[in-house]
Amino acid sequence: MSQQQPENMVLSIIVEANLFTAMRATTFSTYPGDTLAHILGARLDRVQPQGPGGQRRPVRVISNIDDDPHQGVDSERWTLTTDPTVSPNHPEWFDAYVTQPIKIISPPYPLYMPGWEADAQRVFSQRSEQYVPIVRHGVMYTEYNPSTSLNILIGNSENATAGFPFRAVRNLAMLLLVYEPELDRMVRLPTYICHPNNPKRWVSPLRSPHFQPPNVPEDFSRATLASHLLNTCPDMQSLICAFNPELPESEQPAKHYYFKYDFSSHLDATGEYIPGTNQNKRDSPPPDGQFTRKTLQFRLPSVLVVDPEILIHWARLLGGLVEFANEVNLNTLQETLGISDHNDGPSPAEGNTTVGPRPPEFAAPQPPGSLLRLLTAMEQANIHLDSDTARFWHRRRMRG
């Protein structure tokens, strides 16, 4: 069942996934192609991803994205490139192997067109063997570990430089502050086991000094954090500086740490917010030639969401959250999140409250931060999340 989206917001999606690949050197020598990325690209060409326009363009392989003004994103083709941030858990296992860390980058698709979902099935179902230390002729091994991630970039309309209005980004940030624990449980993040050679790299917005004492009380609630952001971030620049601050020296980009939710593309290189003004729905690169897409990024360890079914439902849910953040009025949002009108601390609204009339299956009162409360609020805001997706996440959440 395809999901209908509001007429006033056209969402696009780009998927970036990285993985570590390896092939025995003796086997690699029998394959045509310069790199493992070329071999993987040939495999993907055989399954024929259609692309946004249905043109079946061949997969593009580039050595790196540093010199690419579009940061590796092709408007019609999937792209494979090297990703230096990825490393294996056990480098010593691969002495007799040719190895390459690879990033897979999709073209931008309209989120609610079936084309991207079909292509996601084609591309991410092409898993090679998970690595085991045995000789398997002709097999490319892949490894997903804490250094590999899957990044979903949601954009606003066909104009990649337009970005999102401040109100929508602020509302989304408030939602994520309250619903982060529930979203983590849905994708099994709390149970993910890291490796000594690859510690966890994802960073919660709660690590920001803006959401730590003395800026908030010692015994703060999630609703308190959302209220604090609402009261202290009056514009896009202050919001992003609070939500995605510069990481401490121990977590600088050279060590490849990342925020799970990243809105910083809405600021320019100097940290200033410049609203998109191009109204012709065509991408207009800035004068320096570098093309910056203003997107909302959601990034997790790839092993948790790279399965095509989970990936598709995850993207649908994120799209629904973005739409809800754009459509919901502030009073309804505060009620949904359990924020008191007069008190930033815990309030009666943080108990088992009901947000308006409920459908029978959601009859029991649900606390703020619960999945069913969120789904009910989205429904009441006329954000009709695909029923298969709602059931998928409800079942997955109930299984724990």
Give residues with Cβ within 8 angstroms of 206, minimum separation 6: 177, 180, 212, 225
Report, in this order, helix, strand and coil percent for the chain, each rounded to 5: 40, 15, 45
How many angstroms separate the CA atoms of 292 and 310, rounded? 28
Encoded tokens for 238: 């202050």
Q: Is the pLDDT of residue 282 over 60?
A: no
Its pTM stands at 0.87
Phi and psi at 205, nearest 5°, equal: -60, -20
How many angstroms separate the CA atoms of 140 and 127, rounded? 9
Phi and psi at 397, nearest 5°, equal: -70, -40
The answer to whether 103 touches 120, Cβ cutoff 8 Å, is no
Kindly provide the b/e burial profile for residues 90-123, where b requires at least 16 CB atoms within 10 angstroms of the residue's own CB: eeebbeebbbbbbbbbbbbbbbbeeebbebbbbb
| Amino acid letter, 255 | K
Closest CA to 370 of 168, 222, 193, 211: 222
Report the phi/psi class of residue 32: left, alpha or beta, with left for phi > 0 and alpha for psi in -120 to 50: beta
Ranges assigned E (strand) in 106-195? 109-110, 129-130, 141-143, 149-156
Highest mean pLDDT among 63-77, 107-121, 318-332: 318-332
How many angstroms separate the CA atoms of 92 and 115, rounded? 41
Which 8-state DSSP code applies to residue 281?
S
Lowest mean pLDDT among 78-92, 175-189, 266-280, 342-356: 342-356
Q: Omega before 301 cis (within 30°)?
A: no
What is the percent of the chain where pLDDT is above 90? 55
Amino acid 345: pLDDT: 41
58-97: pLDDT as tens digits: 999 998 887 777 878 998 999 999 999 999 999 998 998 9
What are the domain boundaries of the chain? 11-272+292-399
Amino acid 138: pLDDT: 55
Helix (H, G, I), strand (E, B) or coil at 316: helix
8-37: pLDDT as tens digits: 578 999 999 999 999 988 888 888 778 999
Q: Is the pLDDT of residue 383 over 80?
A: yes
Q: Which residues sit opposite 261 in a β-bridge? A: 298
Phi and psi at 251, nearest 5°, equal: -125, 35
